[in-house]
Structure 1
């Protein structure tokens, strides 16, 4: 997961990301599993935190609901570090958040998907703040109790495997409950796994 900034962001916008880093050893650590950013990703930049911000300053964050716990921890930490400042959080999804960021309507876009080449070309910069895992789950009432390979799962998703008997389970139709096409989870699969496409 990442927060995105426009290159010309103010030091205050950058400070809110720094405020998150300052509190990750506290309450955030207990509620969100934070892992190191993958080696192939750009390492997070470090920014100096300002000594103060105006007491009436409002920092606006929009993005994916998958960033809720991170955003709430960021809000608590920033408002504690800068008394009188407020953080407003909305959850309109990654695409709308990035559009709002580019239009100057928000200060930070907190999204849980990679930045596209087109978005990078518009001046957005990645600041990694967390990484979470995606799980594929079989319902508790399913007669299938085995394991699946990534290839088998991809074949199921593409409609090449339609019955549990094709992967060693009982004869029963496979039903998917899936995220919408535009969701961050779906985009991560497409960007990460070549077999997903």
Structure 2
């Protein structure tokens, strides 16, 4: 009975720790939005305000974030239903996304028409006129096992020295 109670307490502590870490992740994300790294923010305009006068591409090429694979797949499926004669790709050249940095580089050099990014634009990208449309917000939680040798002592300031205070 005592062992069952200890396991239940440990489970509650883990759940609370995950919740706390998720909140910390969200807080850090919110702080990053206020960072001076990027001069522009995602558009607040409705999607209907985006210029759609350009001709459709022969292939809708997308590259970028590896954390957005599921979301981009749903986007590709929906686009394919509306545009069945226009194939889509995600990841150049082999169908594997190359990450936010490479995706934005590919967008800048015009080898893709859309880039998925899990980070804000840097000043060079912003100056190039990339239009940002936020499609999701993400939270990160770090969970370690009870046998992990780390015993604490890491502060928010030490973990995030580059974030503004």
* TM-score, normalised by the number of residues in structure 2: 0.58
| Counterpart check, 1:76 vs 2:46 | no
CA distance in 1, matches of 2:100, 2:157: 25
Q: 1:139 to 1:44 in 2, by over 3 A?
A: farther
The residue correspondences of 1:21-170 to structure 2 (distance < 5 A) are 41-48=41-48, 57-90=58-91, 91-142=97-148, 152-155=155-158, 157=159
Q: How many residues align?
A: 121
1:162 equivalent in structure 2: none
Q: Would you say the 8 A contact 2:43–2:132 is kept in 1?
A: no
Q: CA deviation at 1:82?
A: 1.5
- Please say which structure displays the higher CA radius of gyration: 2
Deviations 1:38-80 (A, max 9, x none): 7975454323497xx86x8310000010111111010111001
SS at match of 2:47: coil
Structure number with higher relative contact order (C-alpha < 8 Å, ≥ 6 residues apart):
2
Q: CA deviation at 1:111?
A: 0.7
Moved over 6 A (4+): none
Deviations 1:133-180 (A, max 9, x none): 0112222533679xx79x62553x4xxxxxxxxxxxxxxxxxxxxxxx
Q: Would you say the 8 A contact 2:62–2:112 is kept in 1?
A: yes
Q: CA deviation at 1:121?
A: 0.9
**Unaligned 5+ runs, structure 2:** 1-29, 35-40, 92-96
Please give the root-mean-square deviation of Cα atoms over the aligned residues, in Å. Answer: 3.4
